Amino acid sequence: MLDWWLPENVSTYGREIDWLFHLIYAITGVTFILVAAALIAFLIMYRDRPGRRARYTHGNTTLEIVWTIVPALILVVLTALSAPAWSKIKMSMPPSDVVVEVTAKQFNWQVKYPNSDQVFLDEMHVPVNKVVHVHLKSQDVIHSFFVPQFRMKQDAVPGREIKQWFEVVKPGKYEWPCAELCGFGHSGMRGWIYVHSPEDYKKWAAENLTAKAKAAETAKPADAAKPADTKPGGKAKK
């Protein structure tokens, strides 16, 4: 039931997060139903009635060992299942196709591409099915880069550059809120990430990234957005 409410996932690693979410949801759901059923059953069966005397027992070692070991085993398994996904998402980075530099400030996302001077405000453009590296910084307080449909979240910490990645499998326009309280304008600090098909991204880059973009973009595989070698000095959207 709870999972009906998850927004659509459009990233590669988002599937693993959603799978773990559903697994934990199933485990905790079943546990809750069993515990609640036992609780309600006991409350009805053992309610105070005339002539009833409570059972005089101080515990049961076997039972107690069982209900220590069973949850422990389940939790060990959950930890083991969580580790690979975590390692994939946060601890190792696949080689990048596109690099985006994001510097958060009160209350905007400033987006810059290597070898381009253009700064985009609250707007990022990336190609679909490509590994995008985000170099995340903040110039004032802590912000948090959150894209619900990518299942991605990372705090931007002043004084640090944090490298993150994502790969989106579906073109579209995705909302990009700040998830960490950053001041009175926190609410409404929001950008949009435009995920383009390779052709559209190529077109966008040609129009918006300056000539310096060429060097960086040519490092990419052939089918990636071949950048704007024909239109140096294309104008930015904003």
Partner 1 sequence: MSAHAATAHTAHEHHETGFVRTYIFSTDHKMIARQFLFLGLFMMILGGLLALIVRWQLAWPETAIPGMGRILRETGGILEPSTYNMAFTMHATIMIFFVIMPILAGAFGNFCIPLMIGARDMAFPFLNMLSFWTTFTAGLIMLSGFFVEGGHAAAGWTSYAPLSAVAQYTGVNWGQNLWCISLFVMGVGSMMGSINYITTIVNMRAPGMHLFRMPLVVWSLFITAILLLLALPVLTSAVAMLLFDRTLGTSWFAPSGGGEPLLWQHLFWYFGHPEVYILILPAMGIASEILPVFARKPIFGYHAMAFSMIAIAFLSWVVYGHHMFVSGMSPALGMAFTVTTMIIAVPSAIKTFNWLGTLWGGRIQFTVPMLNAIAFVSMFVIGGLSGIFMASTPVDIYIQDTYFIVAHIHYVVFGGSIFGAFAAIYYWFPKMFGRMTNGVLGHLHFWGTFIFFNATFFPMHIIGVGGQMRRIYNPMQYEFLQHQQHWNVFITYSALLLGVSQIPFVINFFWSLFAGPKAPLNPWNANTLEWTAPSPPPHLNWGDRIPTVYRGPYEYSDPDAREDFLPQNQPPVGAGARRH
Restricted to residues 190-209, the positions that interact with partner 1 (CB under 8 A) are 190
> Closest separation between CB of residue 215 and partner 1, Å?
30
182 and 170 in contact (C-beta within 8 Å)? no
Place of tokens 């590994």: 131
- Give the one residue of 98, 99, 100, 182 binding partner 1; rule: CB under 8 A: 182
- Give the one residue of 82, 115, 118, 129 binding partner 1; rule: CB under 8 A: 82
H or E segment at 133?
strand 131-138
Contacts of 164 (CB under 8 A, 6+ apart): 90, 133, 134, 136, 145, 152, 154
| Distance (Å, whole) CA 213 – CA 219 | 11
Q: By CB under 8 A, is residue 54 in contact with partner 1?
A: yes
- Give the one residue of 87, 207, 219, 229 binding partner 1; rule: CB under 8 A: 87
> Closest separation between CB of residue 99 and partner 1, Å?
19
- Give the one residue of 26, 72, 121, 215 binding partner 1; rule: CB under 8 A: 72
Q: By CB under 8 A, is residue 169 in contact with partner 1?
A: no
Residue 20 carries which side chain, given as an amino acid letter? L
* Distance set, CA 195 to CA 134, 149, 237 (Å): 14, 12, 15
> Closest separation between CB of residue 194 and partner 1, Å?
14
> Closest separation between CB of residue 3 and partner 1, Å?
7
* Distance set, CA 201 to CA 123, 136, 209, 237 (Å): 14, 22, 11, 13
The piece of 112-120, 179-187, 202-210, 211-219 that touches partner 1 (CB under 8 A) is 179-187
Site for partner 1, residues 141 to 160, rule: CB under 8 A: 141-142, 144, 146, 148-149, 151-155, 157-160
User: Site mask, partner 1, residues 1-40, x = CB under 8 A?
Assistant: -xx-xxx-----x--xx--xx--xx-xx--xx--xx-xx-
Site for partner 1, residues 103 to 142, rule: CB under 8 A: 106, 140-142
Contacts of 167 (CB under 8 A, 6+ apart): 11, 12, 13, 94, 129, 130, 131, 132
Residue 34 carries which side chain, given as an amino acid letter? L
Q: By CB under 8 A, is residue 94 in contact with partner 1?
A: no
